[in-house]
Structure 1
Amino acid sequence: MAEEHRQMDGEKLAARIDALSPRRLAILTGAFLIALSALFIFEMNEKAKLRQTETELRLAQAASDGAAALNIAIMTGSPVRETMESLRPGGYTAQFHLSSSGDILTADGRTDLIDIPAGAIRALDIDGETRARLDLPGGDVALSWRRLDNGDAFLVAAPARDMFDRSRVWVLYAVIMGAITLVIASLMAAFIRQSRAAQSAAHALSTLTDFNAALSGGRCSPWFYDKKDRTVHLTKAFLQPLGLSSRDRKFTMREISALVHPQDLRTALAVISGEPSGVAEGVVRVREPGGGWSRSYFRTAPDATRFSRAGVAFDLVGAPHLAPGAAIAETRLRDAIESIPEAFVLWDAHGKLAIWNKRFAAIFKISAKVLKPGLEIDDVVTCAGVAGDVLAAHFGPLEDKQEENVEVALPGTRWAHVSRRRTAEGGYVVVATNVTDLKRRAWAQKKKERELQHTVEDLEKSRKELSEALRKYEYEKYRAEEASRSKSEFLANMSHELRTPLNAINGFSELMQSELYGPLGDDKYKEYVTDILSSGRHLLELIDDILDMSKIEAGRLKLEPGRIELEKILNECVRLVAKRAADAGVKLTASIGHAPAVWADQRAVKQVVLNVLSNALKFTPKGGEVTLTAEADLDGVTVIVADSGTGIERSKLIKLGAPFELSDSQFARSGGGSGIGLALSKALMDMQGGILALASQPGKGTVACATFPRRKEAKVRLPQFVRKEAHVLTGRDKAPAQIVATQAAE
């Protein structure tokens, strides 16, 4: 029974290794690569479409922004070419200023790559559609245009495939697909080598198990002679049936002499030890424990020497008259039948049981003591412990057929392929091959194919959802940008509209205040005129700030940085706000001597300093003090404005810097302000590579720091004394210099 279990374990191991089919793995891997390729193709098409959509949207936005800028330039008399140069949207784009008849007045950008014939431009429906696509020799070109207020038109053109001419989408996916294929191929090669090695080992183990079982069933044993110790080794398969031992053991020559019949001793010694030589086989009688004699057959190679001898021993019990050659042939036949991995049974021409192996008996749980040659099929079915109907239907002799091949379900959820064929003498041979693992692998393959199909469907659904979300995102982004652009245009237009009457109000107020054409009369009129002029100037400053802010947001404010004398600008700012400080009852102190030159825009520096000083004066109560100092290091100069006002809480500092954002304090609201000053100053400092920061404590006052670079592209930082407490407004998504300052401050 132990041998039977070991044999079945070897068969299961071999079956599990056979289940690792390289062909099936290759099929599944191929299906995976095909599905992955299809997914990549879908993604490439979607990305190509997204690039085309992005080009069309950017061109539409550039045309709209350019038309608005050209309208302002034509209205103010600014050079059109300079305005067009400032409007370049980037990439491989070209811009054209067209007359009302379609002639090109001005061109800018990559006109060397985008050469649009004049006839094609005239053929466009300028008054109708706002975009088109032309098929030119160099490739498709996308166009977008807008009519100007004077009847001209502004047109923007770019390659329709991608205005930035980025690398083809398929290049990245081809590299990824190649890498994945290479890795999978390497893993498959290693797996196939390992599988084949394991398969060879498993089959070797199965063969060895079957060989041992065959030796045990055939009551034979290999023997080995050790000349040095003069011992011979025999296995229990030969010894146990004779009652000599239940395990493998070694016998000395003295023990062999005691066991062998005296008349056969010479033959036994000659075959085993080679002395005397020349004898290679012979029948030897061996003493049994009960006193009887058992016939055995010993054999070795004819060319065996005395120094290296081995052979085989057969037990001839049950065949007292059988010749040694016939016994050997029968033993070999039985060993061969037992060693095959399939269940085997042979019926003679009369339908009687002739030969079978242990696998056949194990399938139907038939005891080895019950099966005997000569039994009919009904008798064998009666002896079967399980599945007698299967045995009768598929393992017995055929009645009217020459052969049969069928798959049969066996007990224990096993399957076998049963083959029945007629023999030459008229009997039938039945061979049953275990195909359980093949069936399970087929079922598993179908299950995996279904799972793979579901996975592909889920991926396709996810891709469609992602594509729809991306399209919605692009649409919402376009709407937000359009809203921001419209807001900026509205502010710019309203600012220009308000400046015209306000300039007249301020001009007439100044004339009335100077009494150029005669006295006003009552003193109240003078007071009212002064209030009108003060309010008008304040409102004009707010409108100028709004106009500058809208230009910055629209990207149309252009600075001209250079080397400027900071000390001169600071003195001018002090003089401009000195009267306001005196009127407010605030002491203004300036200590700016020997302030070094900086690299910045003169107008922007003056505007930032005036905004910071104005805020300090505005929010400092009567009797307070505002100081202006400058501190320099190797890379930058920091203008420091400190006041003794009420101060701002740390949690409210983070809100400052956004347009129209004010502190929540009642004093700040009473001081008046639109919240544009700090936002405008922040934007101007960002554009110049500087830092704008605030530090404040409630009840103690506020310190504002504006740091300007001393050289072009210098990395500036705040002074050491204010880094820990300062809240940096600039550099949140801008240049590296500001990022360094922010990290140092935090």
Structure 2
Amino acid sequence: MADEQQHLDGERLAARIDALSPRRLAALTGAFLIALAALFIFELNEKAQLRETETQLRLAQAASDGAAALNISIMTGAPVRETMTSVRPGGLTALFHLSPSGDILTAAGATDIIDIPAGTLRSLDFDNAKDARLDLPGGDIAVAWRRLDNGDALLVAAPARDMFDRSRVWILFAIIFGAITLAIASLMAAFIRQSRAAASAAHALSTLTEFNAALTGGRCSPWFYDHKDRMVHLTKAFLQPLGLSARDRKFTMREISALVHPQDLRTALAVLSGEPSGVSEGVVRVREPGGGWARSYFRTSPEATRFHRAGVAFDLAGASTLAPGAAIAETRLKDAIESIPEAFVLWDAQERLAIWNKRFAAIFRIPAKMLKPGLTIEEVVTCAGVAGDVLASHFGPLDDKQQENVEVALPGSRWAHVSRRKTAEGGYVCVATNVTDLKRRAWAQKRKERELRDTVEDLEASRKELSEALRKYEYEKYRAEEASRSKSEFLANMSHELRTPLNAINGFSELMQSELYGPLGDDKYKEYVTDILSSGRHLLELIDDILDMSKIEAGRLTLEPKRIELEKILNESTRLVAKRASDAGVKLTTSVAHAPAVWADARAVKQVVLNLLSNALKFTPHGGEVTLTAEADLDGVTVIVADSGTGIDRAKLTKLGAPFELTESHFSRTGSGSGIGLALSKSLMDMQGGILALASQPGKGTVACATFPRRQAAKVRLPQFIRKEAHILTGRDTQPVTVVATQAAE
């Protein structure tokens, strides 16, 4: 029991040491260092961003304070350079007093470090106070500028990374991380050395425990001879079965002489002490406590001397007829057969079972107590739990062959390569090697080859189908492009052909309406002339819209965005539709005073506003009202056209914006309109970076919003009151156009 407990303790210790293996410890340490590095990187980025934010805020404050101070200096005649030096925030900052065109008038501060090209300065928009970041060849520069009262500007600049040019943040973090890494690496190296030493000790203890257990089971013991004290040390593994001692013990040569049979005393003394020399092994009878004699076998190395002598002692009880050398040889043979990974069975010359191993018995589920030497093949088959026919056919003696090699299917979906050969004495030896994994890999390889072949065939078929589909797609694409080109050419040609007679019709109608060459006569003629002129003008507007849409689809419409006065355009548009509103009995209200300037094409803005007003008047009944207002924010100006007409269902709003799309509620009443005006307005707003949106409720009316940017490339948005209800038309299927950018004249 004590030996078993010691063995269990050794296994537990080895398991605990293996649980903290160097590889696992290195993985945990690496994970900790990665997490620490991620934390340092996050902190590093945060501190760098704080420095950049601090620089931008200080520059903005310095620009505001400096502009106020410079305004006072210019008014009082104080030196501008001294004022700029006094408001300089410090660090690597530079202040520039700029003319309205962007030329440098005065500079102060770190101008040797901050070098901004003149072209970059002239490209800045000094009309709006702004903080910016310039990407220059020498590095990023943070700038802030403010316009002065006299039209000049003050610009403050500094390195965007840090205006005070402090040391890089990553240096401190790199030193800290390196120190922590070095300390952890040192601790881990020491721990690994200590754990390896402990593991070696634990495994040595486990090995020693197993070695002692093996010696005890085999009734065998090592012995050691001390030539100084002339004493022999024997372990309890040899002594306890003989009843001599329950623990390890040392015996003097006198005690050995008393224990050994007189006839074997000379052999025992020669083997144990080397006197006389020349004897290295022999059988020795040892006295038992009951008075009998137990046979033992002592052995040492033939090269052992009297000063260095050790060996082993075997208890031969129960093997009185077995020679020691034969017993040891049989034991070694059995150990060797059990240690091989293959199933092994040996039949003697009489075709009876001689030797086998546990793997052979396990394959056929034969209980170990049922197998005995001398059994015939039929008796062994009877003992088999499964596959007795396979055992008889492939594991028994051969009939008339010298050898056989074959692959055999075993129980449990396993396969074995069985090799049978005839021995020199006339028996048969059979060895079965497990080839299940090889067979499975071979089957898997064949299956993969079939799958790969099928995949290649499928890919080849798909490639052919794809090639055919691509060819058809190219053909259909060519036909669609040709159809689109033909349509655009037809519309353009037709529109030009129609405009020529329409101009004549409208011109002659105007002459007849004015009665330039005399009265028409009957009033009905005047009414007919008025209808002809109205219809001709309406048809001419439709033709102009078709021409514009054709240009947009072809990508040939050219806009010239610049800074324009929106209020003027809105008033002009109102005057153009005022008579139409009066004739229709619709009240037209305009409130566009002080509308800010926008960045857009004047003709396109006017066309969009006229289209929205025309739609509102067209679908507002007699006695209704149409209002035109403007609402501005920092980035854009929204033109709002609201009417009290019949309104549109929200589900039908999605149809608007495409050419020639009409909604039944709008156009079934009047029968006029082609739907192209709203599509043209949508395209023009898309081209100018604006937003066109509609919000409507049936029976209450419609609100149309057109938002224009106040600056070039500004991002616009709808007013808050209409964002939830509005259906945005722009931003979908925008056509390519040509835009010619121009600078607004100051």
Alignment of 1:31-42 (within 5 A): none
Q: Is the contact made by 2:236 and 2:249 (CA closer than 8 Å) also made in structure 1?
A: no
Deviation, structure 1 residue 632 = 2.7
Deviation, structure 1 residue 518 = 2.4
Change (3 A) 1:283 1:704: same
Q: Is the contact made by 1:299 and 1:312 (CA closer than 8 Å) also made in structure 2?
A: yes
Partner of 2:664, secondary structure, is coil
Partner of 1:669, secondary structure, is coil
Q: Is the contact made by 1:224 and 1:309 (CA closer than 8 Å) also made in structure 2?
A: no
Deviation, structure 1 residue 537 = 0.7
Partner of 1:689: 689
Change (3 A) 1:486 1:305: farther
Cα separation, 2, equivalents of 1:297 and 1:304: 17
Q: Is the contact made by 1:387 and 1:410 (CA closer than 8 Å) also made in structure 2?
A: yes
Partner of 1:29: none
Cα separation, 2, equivalents of 1:475 and 1:305: 103
Deviation, structure 1 residue 528 = 1.3
Partner of 1:512: 512
Match 1:263 to one of 251, 259, 262: 259
Partner of 2:24: none
Q: Is the contact made by 2:234 and 2:249 (CA closer than 8 Å) also made in structure 1?
A: no
Cα separation, 2, equivalents of 1:261 and 1:671: 138
Deviation, structure 1 residue 532 = 0.9
Partner of 1:696, secondary structure, is strand
1:144-174: CA deviation from partner (whole Å, max 9, x where unpaired): xxxxxxxxxxxxxxxxxxxxxxxxxxxxxxx
Alignment of 1:410-421 (within 5 A): 415-421=415-421
1:727 and 2:722 matched: no
Deviation, structure 1 residue 709 = 1.9
Deviation, structure 1 residue 707 = 1.8
Partner of 2:490: 490
1:460-505: CA deviation from partner (whole Å, max 9, x where unpaired): 4445445544544444444444433333332222212211211111
Q: Is the contact made by 1:590 and 1:628 (CA closer than 8 Å) also made in structure 2?
A: yes
Letter matched to residue 577 of structure 1: V
Q: Is the contact made by 2:272 and 2:309 (CA closer than 8 Å) also made in structure 1?
A: no
Q: Is the contact made by 1:296 and 1:316 (CA closer than 8 Å) also made in structure 2?
A: yes
> Which TM-score applies when normalising by structure 2?
0.57
Q: Is the contact made by 1:220 and 1:312 (CA closer than 8 Å) also made in structure 2?
A: no
Partner of 2:558, secondary structure, is coil
Partner of 1:220: 218
Cα separation, 2, equivalents of 1:696 and 1:478: 41
Partner of 1:169: none
Q: Is the contact made by 1:585 and 1:624 (CA closer than 8 Å) also made in structure 2?
A: yes
Cα separation, 1, equivalents of 2:391 and 2:528: 123
Cα separation, 1, equivalents of 2:727 and 2:409: 81
Cα separation, 2, equivalents of 1:381 and 1:654: 86
Partner of 2:702, secondary structure, is strand
Match 2:247 to one of 249, 252, 271: 252
Partner of 1:590: 590
1:562 and 2:556 matched: no
Deviation, structure 1 residue 574 = 1.8
Partner of 1:86: none
Q: Is the contact made by 1:347 and 1:355 (CA closer than 8 Å) also made in structure 2?
A: yes
1:599 and 2:599 matched: yes
Q: Is the contact made by 1:408 and 1:418 (CA closer than 8 Å) also made in structure 2?
A: yes
Partner of 2:618: 618
Cα separation, 2, equivalents of 1:329 and 1:599: 106
Q: Is the contact made by 2:647 and 2:700 (CA closer than 8 Å) also made in structure 1?
A: yes
Change (3 A) 1:726 1:232: same
Partner of 1:537: 537
Deviation, structure 1 residue 363 = 5.8
Cα separation, 1, equivalents of 2:643 and 2:311: 113
Deviation, structure 1 residue 584 = 1.4
Partner of 2:590, secondary structure, is strand
Deviation, structure 1 residue 438 = 3.3
Partner of 1:670, secondary structure, is coil
**Paired residues, what number?**
511
Cα separation, 1, equivalents of 2:372 and 2:249: 40
1:672 and 2:668 matched: no
Cα separation, 2, equivalents of 1:692 and 1:606: 14
Deviation, structure 1 residue 680 = 1.0
Extract unaligned runs of 5+ from structure 1. Answer: 1-207, 245-249, 736-746
Alignment of 1:22-33 (within 5 A): none
Letter matched to residue 220 of structure 1: G
Alpha-carbon RMSD across the aligned residues, in angstroms, is: 5.0
Cα separation, 1, equivalents of 2:550 and 2:514: 35
Letter matched to residue 665 of structure 1: S
Cα separation, 1, equivalents of 2:668 and 2:386: 99
Q: Is the contact made by 1:222 and 1:311 (CA closer than 8 Å) also made in structure 2?
A: no
Q: Is the contact made by 1:636 and 1:717 (CA closer than 8 Å) also made in structure 2?
A: yes
Cα separation, 1, equivalents of 2:628 and 2:646: 18
Q: Is the contact made by 2:667 and 2:673 (CA closer than 8 Å) also made in structure 1?
A: no
Letter matched to residue 297 of structure 2: Y
Cα separation, 1, equivalents of 2:385 and 2:472: 71
Cα separation, 1, equivalents of 2:480 and 2:589: 46
Cα separation, 2, equivalents of 1:412 and 1:678: 78
Extract unaligned runs of 5+ from structure 2. Answer: 1-206, 227-232, 736-746
Partner of 1:699: 699
Partner of 1:502: 502
Change (3 A) 1:558 1:349: same
Change (3 A) 1:343 1:722: closer
Letter matched to residue 263 of structure 1: L
Letter matched to residue 568 of structure 1: K
Alignment of 1:461-500 (within 5 A): 461-500=461-500
Q: Is the contact made by 1:343 and 1:360 (CA closer than 8 Å) also made in structure 2?
A: yes
Identical aligned residues as a percent: 79
Q: Is the contact made by 1:366 and 1:385 (CA closer than 8 Å) also made in structure 2?
A: yes
1:572 and 2:572 matched: yes
Q: Is the contact made by 1:223 and 1:312 (CA closer than 8 Å) also made in structure 2?
A: yes
Partner of 2:599, secondary structure, is strand
Cα separation, 1, equivalents of 2:369 and 2:286: 26
Partner of 2:145: none
Partner of 1:546: 546
